[in-house]
Amino acid sequence: MKYISTRGSAPALDFEQVTLAGLAGDGGLYLPESWPTFSADDIRALAGLSYVDTAVRVMAPFVAGSLSEAELRVLCEAAYGRFSHKAVTPLVQLDHRQWLLELFHGPTLAFKDVALQLLGLLFEKFLARREDRITIVGATSGDTGSAAIDAVAGRDKIDIFMLHPYGRVSDVQRRQMTTVLAPNVHNIAIDGSFDDAQALVKAMFNDADFRARHNLSAVNSINWARLMAQVVYYFYAAVRLGAPEREVAFSVPTGNFGDVFAGYVASKMGLPVARLIVATNVNDILHRALADGDYSQGTVIPTATPSMDIQVSSNFERLLFDVGGRDGLALAEQMRGFEASKAMRLTNAQQEGASRLFTSHRVDADGMNLALRWAYEAAGQVIDPHSAVGLAAALAADDLPADVPVVTLATAHGAKFRDAVERATGVRPSMPARVGSLFDREEAYTRLPATYEAITAHIAGLATARQ
Ligand SMILES: Cc1ncc(COP(=O)(O)O)c(C=O)c1O
Ligand SMILES: N[C@@H](CCOP(=O)(O)O)C(=O)O
The rounded Å distance from CA 266 to ligand 1 centre is 18
| pLDDT, position 464 | 75
pTM over 0.95: yes
Band of residue 467 on the pLDDT scale cut at 50, 70, 90:
very low
Give the separation between CA 369 and CA 452, rounded to whole angstroms.
38
| Mutate which of 113, 307, 358 for ligand 1 pocket (most atoms within 8 A of beta carbon) | 307
Work out which ligand 1 atom sits closest to the CA atom of 112.
16
The rounded Å distance from CA 399 to ligand 2 centre is 30
Residue-range domain boundaries for the chain: 91-109+224-425
Q: Is the peptide bond before 432 cis (omega within 30 degrees of 0)?
A: no
The rounded Å distance from CA 255 to ligand 1 centre is 5
DSSP state of 110: B
Residue owning the nearest CA to atom 9 of ligand 2: 220
What value does the mean pLDDT of the chain take?
96
Mean pLDDT, range 1-25, rounded to an integer: 97
Mean pLDDT, range 301-330, rounded to an integer: 96
Give the separation between CA 225 and CA 16, rounded to whole angstroms.
9
Q: Is residue 411 within 8 Å of residue 103, measured between CB atoms?
A: yes
Q: Name all residues whose Cβ lies below 6 A of ligand 2.
A: 140-145, 220-221, 255-256, 258, 307, 314
Q: Name all residues whose Cβ lies below 6 A of ligand 1.
A: 110, 143, 221, 253-260, 307-308, 386, 411-412
The rounded Å distance from CA 411 to ligand 1 centre is 7
Sign of CA dihedral 421, 422, 426, 428: positive
| Mutate which of 307, 310, 314, 413 for ligand 2 pocket (most atoms within 8 A of beta carbon) | 307
- CATH number for the domain whose boundaries are 91-109+224-425: 3.40.50.1100
Q: Is residue 384 within 8 Å of residue 302, measured between CB atoms?
A: no
Work out which ligand 2 atom sits closest to the CA atom of 315.
8
Work out which ligand 2 atom sits closest to the CA atom of 142.
11
| Mutate which of 29, 259, 278 for ligand 1 pocket (most atoms within 8 A of beta carbon) | 259
Burial class (CB in 10 A: 0-12, 13-18, 19+), 104: buried
Residue owning the nearest CA to atom 12 of ligand 1: 307
pLDDT tens-digit series, residues 347-390:
999 999 999 999 999 999 999 999 999 999 999 999 999 999 99
| pLDDT, position 466 | 52
Give the separation between CA 372 and CA 421, rounded to whole angstroms.
7
Q: Is residue 393 within 8 Å of residue 331, measured between CB atoms?
A: no
Strand partners, 161: 137, 186
Closest ligand relative to 140 C-alpha: 2
> Dihedral angle at the C-alpha atoms of 308, 309, 313, 315, nearest 10 degrees?
-30
| Mutate which of 290, 308, 384 for ligand 1 pocket (most atoms within 8 A of beta carbon) | 308
Mean pLDDT, range 211-226, rounded to an integer: 97
Closest ligand relative to 420 C-alpha: 1
Catalytic residues, by residue number, are 112
Residue owning the nearest CA to atom 12 of ligand 2: 140
The rounded Å distance from CA 142 to ligand 1 centre is 9
Give the separation between CA 339 and CA 331, rounded to whole angstroms.
12
The rounded Å distance from CA 142 to ligand 2 centre is 7
Encoded amino acid at 175, one letter: R
Distance of CA 215 to the CA centre of its chain: 23
Mean pLDDT, range 142-156, rounded to an integer: 96
Strand partners, 217: 136
Helix (H) or strand (E) holding 379: helix 365-379
| pLDDT, position 465 | 57
Question: How many CB atoms within 10 Å of residue 427?
Answer: 13
Proportion of the chain above pLDDT 70, given as a percent: 99
Residue owning the nearest CA to atom 4 of ligand 2: 140
pLDDT tens-digit series, residues 246-288:
999 999 999 999 999 999 999 999 999 999 999 999 999 999 9
Closest ligand relative to 278 C-alpha: 1
pLDDT tens-digit series, residues 44-73:
999 999 999 999 999 999 999 999 999 999
Proportion of the chain above pLDDT 90, given as a percent: 97
Residue owning the nearest CA to atom 15 of ligand 1: 307
| pLDDT, position 437 | 85
Closest ligand relative to 389 C-alpha: 1
List the end-to-end C-alpha distance of the chain, in Å, as a whole number. Answer: 30
pLDDT higher than 90, residue 463:
no
pLDDT higher than 90, residue 215:
yes
Instruction: Please name the residues in contact with 214: beta carbons below 8 A apart, sequence gap of 6 or more.
Output: 135, 459, 460, 463, 466
The rounded Å distance from CA 242 to ligand 2 centre is 31
